[in-house]
A and B are shown apart, each in its own frame.
Chain A
């Protein structure tokens, strides 16, 4: 389940970004710091996380850095100790 979620996130990100490829995007690649995702894509990413997680994301409760890379997103939204 965990691996599928990371793969799904990787495919989505590689699909919307013109700054990376599926092969070069690692689980610890910084997504925003390296410009792989733009600020305007945050809302779409949240919607996709909601779709994957099957629940709504409370944007006011999201902690800084929660979208740093695929690993961090996975820990924040797809494990029992999520933020």
Chain B
């Protein structure tokens, strides 16, 4: 295959066969999104911090956040930086005064959807799909499996509780059919999000008590997809309504690099070994 170039801090370069595999899998996933008439969105790389604050993101996941920062423009600050040595011998930036940071690099693709739909009264269930480069600061990185930045394809549904549950049930069925048809050894398991200080966070307790997140786990523990039933959490936070009540929401997420890792592990590293996908190619 020879198609991944590994970089520091959990970044991966894709080209050649592996990039083609990524494109093929993404086209299959977006095909499922089209079955729901999901609108494709392309969102910016950053999320405004004030929106994540409304979701208690910085209390729940402060350890995962990555902040884009810029130099303060006042009092020759940029001139001084330009005249000096930007990096030390280890490659670490010696930054002068920074401008106020008001954004976070996208931590999950679907946050943009709820922000975009703020204040809407839905007259029918709404389906949206998007793919985003997501950033999560981790203690350790493994190429393709746990990366600082990675690609996530999501299909999101907003509607009534019944509409969202129907979406999650049917999409789970499609994923199961696909995994069985290609012979991918993977099973669903209840999961919780990686909360900071979890036992003191009521949202973690809630996820333990009322499992709302299921992960499709390949092999020894690599979660390659997840279904998430948010109830009316985002609908209430962003005042999105359906039939007079706060809208419910749910999403199905695919970790693209992890699917590549699963394919390498299950079938091998050459294009010919991925022929199980042929019947599913658009």
Question: Which residues of A are at the interface with B, using a C-beta cutoff of 8 A?
Answer: 32-33, 35, 39-43, 46, 59-60, 62, 64-68
Q: Does B203 contact A (CB under 8 A)?
A: yes
A58 to chain B, nearest CB (A): 10
Docked Cα-Cα span, A25 to B210, in Å, equals 19
Docked Cα-Cα span, A73 to B106, in Å, equals 38
Q: Contact check, A64 vs B211: say whether CB atoms are below 8 A apart.
A: yes
A32: B residues at CB distance < 8 A: 206, 209-210, 231
Q: Does B233 contact A (CB under 8 A)?
A: yes
Docked Cα-Cα span, A40 to B232, in Å, equals 13
Question: Which residues of B are at the interface with A, using a C-beta cutoff of 8 A?
Answer: 161, 190, 199, 202-203, 205-211, 231-233
Q: Contact check, A39 vs B211: say whether CB atoms are below 8 A apart.
A: no
Docked Cα-Cα span, A48 to B50, in Å, equals 33
- Please give me the residue from chain A that is nearest to B199 by CB atom: A59
Q: Contact check, A43 vs B202: say whether CB atoms are below 8 A apart.
A: yes
Q: Contact check, B209 vs A60: say whether CB atoms are below 8 A apart.
A: no
Q: Contact check, A64 vs B203: say whether CB atoms are below 8 A apart.
A: no
Docked Cα-Cα span, A41 to B202, in Å, equals 7
B233: A residues at CB distance < 8 A: 39
B210: A residues at CB distance < 8 A: 32-33, 64-65, 67-68
Q: Which secondary structure dominates where chain B touches chain A?
A: helix
Question: Could you list 14 further interchain pairs (A-B, Cβ under 8 angstroms) beyond the known A40-B203, A59-B199, A59-B205?
Answer: A32-B231, A35-B231, A39-B206, A39-B207, A39-B231, A39-B233, A41-B202, A46-B205, A60-B199, A62-B205, A62-B209, A64-B208, A64-B209, A68-B210
- Please give me the residue from chain A that is nearest to B230 by CB atom: A39
Known: A32-B210, A42-B209. A64 touches B190 (CB 8 A): yes
- Please give me the residue from chain A that is nearest to B211 by CB atom: A64
Docked Cα-Cα span, A64 to B207, in Å, equals 8
Docked Cα-Cα span, A46 to B206, in Å, equals 11
Docked Cα-Cα span, A46 to B205, in Å, equals 10
Q: Contact check, B231 vs A42: say whether CB atoms are below 8 A apart.
A: no
Docked Cα-Cα span, A43 to B199, in Å, equals 10
A66: B residues at CB distance < 8 A: 209
A49 to chain B, nearest CB (A): 12
B203: A residues at CB distance < 8 A: 39-40, 42
- Please give me the residue from chain B that is nearest to A60 by CB atom: B199
A-B contact pairs, 15 of them (CB 8 A): A32-B206, A32-B209, A33-B210, A35-B231, A39-B233, A40-B202, A41-B202, A42-B205, A46-B205, A59-B199, A62-B205, A64-B190, A64-B208, A64-B211, A67-B209
- Please give me the residue from chain A that is nearest to B232 by CB atom: A35
A35: B residues at CB distance < 8 A: 161, 231-232
